Amino acid sequence: MALGAAQITWFNAPRPHYDPRNPGAEAPDANFSLSYAFAGGEVAVGRGGGPQRLTSGLTLVDDPSGPATLGSGDRWTSFSHAFGPMMLDVRSSDGSGRSSSSIGVGKYGEDWGVRLGYAALSDTRATLGGAFQSRFGGEDQTRLAALSLEGRRDLGAWSFSGSIEAAQAKVDALNVSGLWTSAWSLSAEHPFAGGALRFTAAQPRRAEGGELAFNAPIALTKNGMILYEPRFAGLTPSGREIDFEAVWTTRLGDLTTFETALALSTEPNHIADAEAAAALWFSLRHAW
C-alpha cells in the first residue's frame, strides 16, 4: 500500500501444520517493510527480504556462512541519500544469532550500477558457517570485516552482474592469526522463450589464509605426566568450491509463475576429494 511518499507491505505466513512432536509451534513472525522516500534519498525498515543487491546470486546452492550484509529473515534498517552523482547507503540487520552493519557508496545509471561497500558482521552461532571452537570445547562465533565490490551492466538484451568480497575474520577463544576469506559471483541474464534465462558461477566464502596455534599432547611419561609441544595448523581448505547454475523463469499468466533451475557444485565445502553435487528444481506458483 502506498500513501504518498510512503510504502508499506505486510505478509503473515500461515501457522504450520500440527506436529505432535512440537505441539506448541507458533506461526512464523510476519514479514514487513516500511519505506519513505524524500528528496534525494530513502529510509526503510522491515523484517525479511531487505534492500536489493546488484547481483542476482544463486537459487539452489546456499553458502552456510551467509551474506555479510542482510539475511533473508533478519530485522533490518536501510538509509540512502544522493550526494551529487554518488549514492551513500547505510544498512544494519539483526536476526538468527547474526548482526551486521554496513556502509557503501555507489554510482548508478539507467543501464549500469556499481557499489563499493564495507560490512562488519558478528555471528554468535557458527564460525564461517561451520563448527570450529566447539571442537576444542568452546562456543562457535565469528567477527567478520568485509570489503566488497559489486556491479551490473546491461549490454543489448544481456544483463551482466558480478561481485567480489575479501574479508578478515576474527575467531575468539582460540589462537588464530591471519585468517581472511574470499567470495565472488558472476551472472548473465537474457530473455528466452517468453521468460528470462540466467547463468551464474560463484565461489562461496573460503578461507584463503590463516593458522591455528595450539599446544598438542605428544607423550606420556612413566609417572603419568603429559608432555605438550606447540603445533601450527593451516586453516586453508584442501579444495575450492565453484558452483554453476542455470535458471529459467517465465510467467504463465498474471498470477502464475513457472521456474526451473539446474545447479552443479564442484568440490563441495571446499574439500578437494568431495564428489560433485547436483540439484534440479521445478516450481509452479500461483497467487489468489
- Quick one: average pLDDT of 26-35? 82
C-alpha cell at 225: 605426566
Give 144-187 pLDDT, tens digit per residue: 999 999 999 999 999 999 999 999 999 988 999 999 999 999 99
- CB contact at 8 A, 117 and 83: no
The whole domain housing 222 covers 2-286
Q: What is the pLDDT of residue 19?
A: 67
CA separation for the pair 288, 66 (Å, rounded): 32
Q: What values do phi and psi take at 218, rounded to 5?
A: -120, -20
> Which whole-number Å values give the CA distances from 6 to 3, 9, 12, 80, in the listed order?
5, 10, 20, 15
Give 219-238 pLDDT, tens digit per residue: 999 999 999 999 999 999 99
CATH code of 195's domain: 2.40.160
Residue 250 reports pLDDT greater than 80: yes
Residue 84 reports pLDDT greater than 70: yes
Q: For the chain, what is the mean pLDDT?
A: 90
- Quick one: average pLDDT of 99-122? 94
Q: How many domains does the chain have?
A: 1
Residue 268 three-state SS: helix
Residue 65 three-state SS: coil
- Quick one: average pLDDT of 179-205? 96
Of 99-108, 129-138, 199-208, minimum mean pLDDT range: 129-138
- Quick one: average pLDDT of 14-39? 77
Give 48-60 pLDDT, tens digit per residue: 876 667 888 888 9
